[in-house]
Structure formats: structure tokens, C-alpha cells
Structure 1
Amino acid sequence: MNDRVTIPTTLARRENKVLRPRDAGDVYAHPRSEFERLLEQAVLSRISTGYYALAPMERLGDPRWRPDLAAVALGVAQADYGRDAVALMSITAARRHGALPRAIGTAVVAAPKQRPVLRTNVGDVVFVKRDVRRLDLERVETDLTAGWMTTPEQTALDVAARPGLGGIDEAEAESILRALARKIDWTVTEKLARDQHRPAALARVKGAAGA
């Protein structure tokens, strides 16, 4: 760590470490120019146009640090819509649940609005318009923020309903569903499918599980 690196306490203590220049308007008179300085010091890492990630304390000043794609997806969505309006879902939640062994270059996040794919320096973020209040969620911790992701039951239904979301193929979707089927509570899954009017998705999950 560079001993000359400093960062204001109010930024260091933010729960969400994904920052936009306007988020620092109460700290700096000219946030954009200050962010450029923090980039040069490797305090911030540029994620995409208008979005920056604050390095963890132990990596401040290390230009090699890059954030995790799932953390970026959740942090960006929270920055734009608030913590409780967004959640990691589909293949991104599946990977968090241990059902997708390989890292992929796309993260999927539920958000209040549909919007174009966000290209970042660690991968693509796909936003899916969903009312997260209607989803079955659990807490998730990332290296940039804490928030929500879909449960194994919800994730299985989401992958079954849109198996190609995030760029995976049919065979990999089936593999994910088989792995999730070993983790899910079938009573919960069936109730979610009824409430969300997803009989075809439920049938696909059961087919993958051999149930």
C-alpha cells in the first residue's frame, strides 16, 4: 500500500463501494477531478463510464486490484436503484450457490427498470426488470457491498424460465438445474411456481432433477 494514499472517511465508510461522482458531491467541490486523482493513486478502479469501485483497505494503492463481476453488478444496481430494489439472479445467483463451477463474463441482476447491457472492465452486467419484492431472496455479501440474491428455489425457476440468459447454452442450463435441484426445498419451489405462474419452469426443474 502506498503510504501517501488517503481517502475521506465518509467515502471509506460507505456500505456500497461502487461510487458515481455525484455520490461524492458532499465531500469534494469537484468530484470528477478528485476521482481522476484517486484513480492515479489506485484508490479507485474505473468500472465503466460514470462508475468507480473503491479498493478494499488492504489493496489501496495497488493498481492490480480488480473487483469481482458479481460485486460490480450488485454495486452498480444499488447505486442507481437502492439496496432493496435489486438482487443478483439467474446464473449469477447460481454461481453463488455453487451450481455453476466456471466463471463467466456476464452477471445478471434484477432491477426496477430494463436497461441496456452495461459493459464494464470486468465483464457485462445484464439488467432484468423484476419486482424484487415478489422474488424469494436471501442475503449476500460481496467485496463491494452487501445486499440480496435469489434463493436456490427462485434461482432454479429463473434459470428454467430463461435458460439462455447470460449467454449459457442449453446443456449448461441443465447442469445448473441438476445442481440446484440437490439444494432446493420442493415445497417452497412448487409454491413459488404457483405464485409466479411458472408451471413450465417448474416442470423443467423437475425434469432436470429426474423428479
Structure 2
Amino acid sequence: MAADVDIVRAVARAPLRTLRLKEVPELARNTWRTTDRLVEQGALVRLAHGVYTAVPDGRDGRTWKPPLEAAALALATARFGAREVALMGVSAARHWAAIPRAIGVATVAVPRRGYAPVTLEGGGLVKFVPRNMDTLELVLERTGLGEGLVTTPEQTLFDLLGRMDRDGLGREVAGAVENLTPQVKPDEFAKIVARARIVPAGARDMLKRLETANG
């Protein structure tokens, strides 16, 4: 059906190939039933209630699912808008290969507070962390669903030092801190520490360690 193709194309054109149902164009008599049918056919994937992702070309949504970090960023983007959210904390560490194995929690920086965690239909919990986006060091990176913002290795390290015991991932975070350290530029990390209103325990010691390692 022409409406089916148009709906899939509309979702695929959205940032990170993801739209909320209320933003899907009303191209069919019943958009809700049509999107559900497209999920059953493998053309769309339902990330969470009312949020749909267009499957990359050549994939079948009945067997394919996006990586947790990409899905979390896509979900947040659908809620808050493109370039308004960023992978941070353990999710940014995963992006920078500082956490080698998959974990079941994703963290996304968002511009407003008050949003409860969301469990994705494909598995995994997405946590929304309110942050002033203008104060974060961010870079545009490619994810499994397209380009999105990620905290830099320096910002990621700083954030992890402030969340060492959160989410029951203490061991993973400690490992990520060690694995990130070789990627971090001391001068960039120093700038983040200098302008921070609250400096995590261990951040200044980490800065000394970085400066010593780099002569």
C-alpha cells in the first residue's frame, strides 16, 4: 500500500530514523493500526510505547534491533529534538569502547528534569539525566541509527567520577575510568574541572595523574 511506504519513509527521514506516533503523518485511515502492522511485517521497530524506528535498509525488524545506546539516543531525540540530547556516563563510555560488554542501562543527558526511566521493548532501561547542555563538552558521532551527540572522552571521564556507585554498575564504571584515561587530554580535562560548580571526588587526583602521565 502506498500509505505504508510513505509512513516508513517519513519515519526514516526523521532524526535517528525515529518518530513518536503522534508525529507520524496521517497517511492511512488508522495510523496506529498501520504502524502496528508495519512492526509485524518488520518494516518498523517499536522502541517504546508510541515511539517507532525505521529499520535500516536490508534489515528485518522482526529479527533486528538497534544497539541500546543508539535506541536510547533515538528515544530521547524523539522526545526533546535533534541535537538537544546526548549520550553520557556509561553510554558514552560504551560508545568510546571503555566498557567492552553490553550492559542493560543507558544514560542520556536531556535539557529538562522530571522524566521517568523507560524500558525499551527490545530490552534495556533508558535513564534521562537533566543537564544544562551548554555546559557539556559534546561531539557529533555516528551511532547505529545515525548521527547524534556524545560527551567527549574528557567529559565522560569527569561524569563517571561523579557517578562511581550509581545504578549498581560500580565495577563497570571503575573499569571504564581506567579504559578512558588513555583517551583523555589533560588540558581538556583541566578545563572541565576548572569550570565545574561541583567537582567529583577524585577528579583533581585524576588530573594530576593525567598530567604526570603526559609529562
TM-score with structure 1 setting the length: 0.88
Q: 1:199: how far off? A: 5.7
1:52 corresponds to which letter in structure 2? Y
Q: Which secondary structure state, in structure 2, belongs to the residue aligned with residue 59 of structure 1?
A: coil
- 1:30 aligns with 30
Query: Equivalents in 1 of 2:10, 2:53: separation in Å?
Result: 15
- 1:7 aligns with 5
Query: Equivalents in 2 of 1:166, 1:83: separation in Å?
Result: 27
Contact 2:11 2:53 survives alignment (8 Å): no
Aligned Cα root-mean-square deviation (Å): 2.4
Q: Which secondary structure state, in structure 2, belongs to the residue aligned with residue 78 of structure 1?
A: helix
1:157 corresponds to which letter in structure 2? F
Query: Equivalents in 2 of 1:204, 1:25: separation in Å?
Result: 53
- 2:51 aligns with 51
1:7 corresponds to which letter in structure 2? V
Q: 1:146: how far off? A: 1.4
Q: Percent identity?
A: 31
- 1:71 aligns with 70
- 2:190 aligns with 190
Aligned pair count reads 206
Are 2:173 and 1:173 equivalent residues in the alignment? yes
- Which structure 2 residue ranges, 5 or more long, are not aligned? none
Contact 1:84 1:148 survives alignment (8 Å): yes
- 2:163 aligns with 162
1:152 corresponds to which letter in structure 2? P
Q: 1:191: how far off? A: 1.0
- 1:42 aligns with 42
Cα distance per residue 1:181-204 (max 9 Å; x no partner): 111111110111111131635135
TM-score with structure 2 setting the length: 0.86
Q: 1:207 to 1:166 in 2, by over 3 A?
A: farther
Are 2:144 and 1:143 equivalent residues in the alignment? yes
Query: Equivalents in 1 of 2:56, 2:118: separation in Å?
Result: 23
1:78 corresponds to which letter in structure 2? T
Cα distance per residue 1:42-89 (max 9 Å; x no partner): 1112222111221111114x5111111111110011111111210000
1:10 corresponds to which letter in structure 2? A
Contact 1:178 1:209 survives alignment (8 Å): no
Cα distance per residue 1:129-154 (max 9 Å; x no partner): 00111100111211223110000000
- Which structure 1 residue ranges, 5 or more long, are not aligned? 1-5
Query: Equivalents in 1 of 2:17, 2:100: separation in Å?
Result: 26
Contact 1:91 1:166 survives alignment (8 Å): no
Comparing 103-112 with 9-18, which one deviates more in the overlay? 9-18
- 1:93 aligns with 92
Query: Equivalents in 1 of 2:27, 2:203: separation in Å?
Result: 50
Q: Which secondary structure state, in structure 2, belongs to the residue aligned with residue 203 of structure 1?
A: helix
Q: Which secondary structure state, in structure 2, belongs to the residue aligned with residue 80 of structure 1?
A: helix
Q: 1:18: how far off? A: 1.8
Q: 1:208: how far off? A: 7.6
Query: Equivalents in 2 of 1:10, 1:50: separation in Å?
Result: 15
Comparing 30-39 with 88-97, which one deviates more in the overlay? 30-39
Query: Equivalents in 2 of 1:53, 1:116: separation in Å?
Result: 21
Q: 1:191 to 1:207 in 2, by over 3 A?
A: closer
Contact 1:159 1:177 survives alignment (8 Å): yes
1:56 corresponds to which letter in structure 2? P
